[in-house]
Amino acid sequence: MVCLSVFYPHAPGKKFDHDYYSQKHMPLVMDRLKSSGLIRYEIDRGLAGGAPGAPAPFTCTGRLYFNTVEEFQKALATYGPEILGDVPNYTDIELQIQISQMTPS
């Protein structure tokens, strides 16, 4: 299984609409990508950093789970422009993307 993580770094003065992201954007992602192999998604809302009183390094992290990288690539080729076109509706933060191989525990 692979995980596509989308990180939204915390940046003073930048916007991030958590309600839009969780209620509209991620359901849109699931609707479009489920037929291309999206298994599930998760949303992490940053609360704090590791040191007492430190801000969270990321405002939000979204995770998309696929069985293979190829499934993700197919999904992105088909629906990427629509999904990425929705980003300005909830944030002006430059997102960072990482694809990871999941290791069974």
pLDDT tens-place string over residues 57-90:
999 999 999 999 999 999 999 999 999 999 999 9
CB 36, CB 75: distance < 8 Å = yes
Q: Rounded to two decimals, what is the model's pTM?
A: 0.91
pLDDT greater than 80 at residue 105: no
Expressed as residue numbers, the domain containing 7 is: 2-48+58-101
Mean pLDDT of the region 8-24: 96
Q: What is the CATH number of the domain that holds 44?
A: 3.30.70.100
Helix (H) or strand (E) holding 5: strand 2-9
73 within some domain: yes
53 within some domain: no
Q: What is the pLDDT of residues 50-61, one digit of tens each?
A: 999 999 999 999
| The pLDDT value given to residue 102 | 85
